[in-house]
Structure 1
Amino acid sequence: MQNYAWGSYFYLGMSLLILVLVTAMFSTTVPTRLLHPKIAPPYIVWLTAPKTTAHVSRVGLRLSEVGGS
C-alpha cells in the first residue's frame, strides 16, 4: 500500500521547490535596470516573457490540482 500523503503532494512540493530555487537564483543575477534599460530590448522579449510566465503559472496550477487529490 502506498503512502498517499507522500504520493499526492510530491509533485506539488517539487514544483514549489523549483519555483523558489529559480526565483532565488534569478534574483541574484538579474540587473536592476532589466525592466527599464537605456536600450530598448528586442521585440521578441515582449512576446516570450508573458508566454513563459503564463506557462509556469499554468504548470503550478495543474500541479496544485494533482497534489490536492
Structure 2
Amino acid sequence: MQPEDLQRLVTVEMPYGKYKGRLIADLPGNYLNWFAREGFPKGDIGRLLALMQEIDHNGLSPLLEPLRKR
C-alpha cells in the first residue's frame, strides 16, 4: 500500500459491474467480501478493492472520513 492509495479510495469510482460509478470507499462490504472469495481483478482496481475490503473488514472505514473533506 502507498499512502496515496487511501486518498484514491475516496476519489476513484468503480469502473464496471453492479456498482459502476460508486466510489471504491462506498462499496458495500458484502460486495468487497465477494471479491475476496472469488478473486480480485488484476491491476490497480483490484489492489484498491483489496485494500478497501481489508479496511472494511476490520471496521476502519471511519478513518477515511477526513480524506473525503479534502
> Same fold judged by TM-score > 0.5?
no
Q: Please indicate the TM-score interval, normalised by the length of the shorter structure.
A: under 0.3
Structure 2-normalised TM-score? 0.27
Structure 1-normalised TM-score? 0.28
Structure showing greater radius of gyration is 1
